[in-house]
């Protein structure tokens, strides 16, 4: 099979963006926002604008830094230097395999609706989680096209219950559920800031199409289109589904719901609808896990090719997949997932998720800064400086605000986690000099 036939196109690339952003978390988001009232929609809109700014920056960078895998890592390295690139790759790589454990747990939890034994029997839950991780690891080892096919199918399946809620829910919509508009007890600005912070995490993954850029057909055109199209689709689904569900279910009931989409679908179609929503949540987690397993291998491979990660991460199989890197990531994911089912470590696990989320936000900050630096270095003759500087500044400001919104504790320990990578960076540099 030629290299070109192993690559993925626009719709598969778009499904990677949509599939990685829309995980199981969206199925709980309306309940998390309900106590703030309808004003939380402004929070969604604020974070959506930030996501679109970042999507634009990532799309533009993919045309400046061509045919290179690594996304935020390679952009930070090109624009700021090796050390910045390493910090981005280090934090991002850790965040992917830890977050994959959380996604696996969400998948098992969603399936417990159909198989209640998963809630009561830890052994069964752990075994199902491990089987899922390693089945998708095998799928990804077969090549990016095999992984892409799974991503397309799961993205379509996860969108079905979400779109059904948006369309059918209009007939059960009650505008009185938005009164009072701000029920948080906070000022309007404070409520918007809080809900924007809650929703910004739903957009992690906006960069997904840029990371396997070297495995994408015509990446200079496909990556920007897929990034922006995927972000727009995700934004519409997020905002419209939240508005409809808030209009269907009174806020005092919605705020305590463990499964708001299932409740909404129950109103629309009875028990059949509730089961469809649960199925959608399971598929959402399954598809997101597939996409992020692909990403964890690609980011480590790109870094290893620049001798900033060990060479083992860049070894490819006959399908041009960094299979050892994927396997190492899946082993770590499996360990973290099993750790979560150890009763005494649950609190630690939740905290690790929080600070690794910060490690996923740092690359956005570095990418926004790198964009303008790369533009200066390339000295494009037709460059319009005002709009480009404005875009870079707004994306940088949003990323900085998002990091602030993560909270003082997460920021402090998140930076400690990044600093822990410095000895590893020094060792890699020292080893490379010895070889020269």
Q: Which helix (H) or strand (E) holds 359?
A: helix 346-378
**What tens-digit pLDDT sequence spans the chain (436 residues)?**
445 556 888 999 999 999 999 887 777 788 888 888 889 899 899 999 999 999 999 999 998 888 788 999 999 999 999 999 999 999 899 889 988 988 898 888 888 888 989 888 889 999 999 999 999 999 999 999 999 999 999 999 999 989 999 999 999 999 998 888 888 888 888 888 888 877 877 888 899 989 888 889 888 899 999 999 999 999 999 999 999 999 999 988 988 887 788 889 999 998 898 899 889 989 999 999 999 999 999 999 999 999 999 999 999 999 889 999 999 999 999 998 888 776 544 455 556 666 666 777 889 999 999 999 998 887 666 667 888 889 999 999 998 888 877 777 777 777 888 888 899 899 988 888 887 6
Whole-number pLDDT of residue 246: 92
- Say which DSSP state 369 is in: H
**Is the residue at 21 inside a domain?**
yes
Q: What's the CA angle centered on 383, arms 380 and 387, to 5 degrees? A: 145
| The pair of three-digit structure tokens given for residue 188, joined into one six-digit string | 């309007």
Residue 152 contacts residue 12 (beta carbons within 8 Å): yes
Q: Which helix (H) or strand (E) holds 73?
A: helix 72-79
**Is the residue at 436 inside a domain?**
no
Q: What is the pTM of this model?
A: 0.89
Whole-number pLDDT of residue 31: 84
**Radius of gyration, CA atoms only, the chain:** 21
**Is the residue at 99 inside a domain?**
yes
Exposure of 336 in the CB half-sphere (CA atoms within 13 A): 27
**Is the residue at 435 inside a domain?**
no
pLDDT in tens, 258-289: 778 888 999 999 889 889 988 998 999 999 99
Write out the residue range of the structural domain in which residue 273 sits: 4-430
Whole-number pLDDT of residue 1: 45
**Is the residue at 363 inside a domain?**
yes
Residues with Cβ within 8 Å of 258's Cβ and at least 6 positions away in sequence, in order, are 28, 31
Whole-number pLDDT of residue 195: 85
**Is the residue at 108 inside a domain?**
yes
The alpha carbon dihedral of 208, 210, 214, 215 has a sign of positive
Question: Tokens 């099993």, residue?
Answer: 338
CATH of the domain at 408: 1.20.1740.10
Q: Find the Cα–Cα–Cα–Cα dihedral 286, 292, 297, 301, rounded to 10°.
A: 160
- Burial per residue of 69-104, b for 16 or more beta-carbon CB atoms within 10 angstroms, e otherwise: bbbbbbbbbbbbeeebbbbbbbbbbbbbbbbbbbbb
Q: How many domains does the chain have?
A: 1
């Amino acid at each position: 099979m030629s290299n070109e036939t192993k690559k993925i196109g626009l719709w598969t690339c778009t499904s990677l963006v949509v599939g990685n952003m829309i995980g199981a978390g969206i199925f709980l988001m309306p309940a998390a926002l309900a106590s703030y009232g309808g004003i939380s929609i402004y929070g969604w809109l604020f974070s959506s604008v930030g996501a679109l700014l970042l999507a634009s920056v990532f799309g533009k960078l993919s045309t400046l830094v061509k045919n290179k895998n690594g996304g935020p890592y390679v952009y930070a390295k090109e624009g700021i230097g090796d050390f910045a690139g390493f910090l981005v790759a280090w934090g991002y790589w850790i965040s992917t395999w830890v977050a994959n454990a959380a996604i696996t747990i969400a998948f098992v939890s969603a399936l417990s609706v159909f198989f209640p034994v998963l809630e009561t029997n830890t052994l069964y839950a752990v075994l199902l989680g491990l089987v899922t991780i390693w089945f998708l690891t095998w799928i990804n080892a077969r090549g990016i096209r095999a992984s892409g096919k799974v991503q397309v199918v799961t993205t379509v399946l996860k969108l079905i219950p979400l779109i059904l809620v948006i369309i059918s829910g209009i007939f059960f919509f009650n505008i009185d559920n938005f009164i009072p508009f701000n029920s948080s007890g906070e000022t309007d600005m404070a409520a918007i800031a809080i809900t924007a912070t809650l929703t910004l995490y739903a957009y992690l993954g906006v960069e997904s199409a840029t990371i396997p850029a070297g495995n994408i057909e015509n990446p200079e055109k496909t990556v920007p289109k897929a990034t922006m199209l995927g972000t727009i689709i995700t934004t519409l689904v997020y905002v419209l589904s939240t508005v409809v569900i808030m209009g269907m279910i009174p806020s005092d009931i919605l705020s305590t719901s463990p499964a708001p989409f299932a409740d909404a679908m129950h109103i629309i179609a009875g028990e059949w609808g509730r089961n469809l929503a649960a199925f959608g949540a399971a598929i959402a987690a399954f598809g997101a896990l597939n996409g992020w397993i692909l990403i964890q291998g690609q980011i480590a491979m790109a870094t290893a090719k620049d001798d900033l990660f060990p060479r083992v991460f860049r070894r490819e199989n006959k399908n041009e997949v960094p299979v050892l890197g994927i396997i190492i990531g899946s082993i770590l994911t499996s360990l973290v997932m099993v750790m979560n089912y150890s009763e005494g470590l649950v609190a630690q696990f939740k905290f690790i998720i929080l600070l690794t989320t910060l490690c996923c936000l740092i690359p956005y900050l570095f990418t926004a800064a790198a964009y303008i630096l790369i533009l200066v270095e390339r000295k494009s003759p037709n460059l319009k400086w005002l709009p480009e500087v404005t875009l870079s500044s707004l994306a940088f400001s949003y990323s900085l605000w998002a990091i602030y919104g993560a909270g003082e504790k997460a920021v402090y320990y998140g930076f400690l986690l990044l600093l822990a990578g410095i000895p590893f960076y020094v060792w890699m540099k020292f080893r490379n000099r010895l070889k020269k």
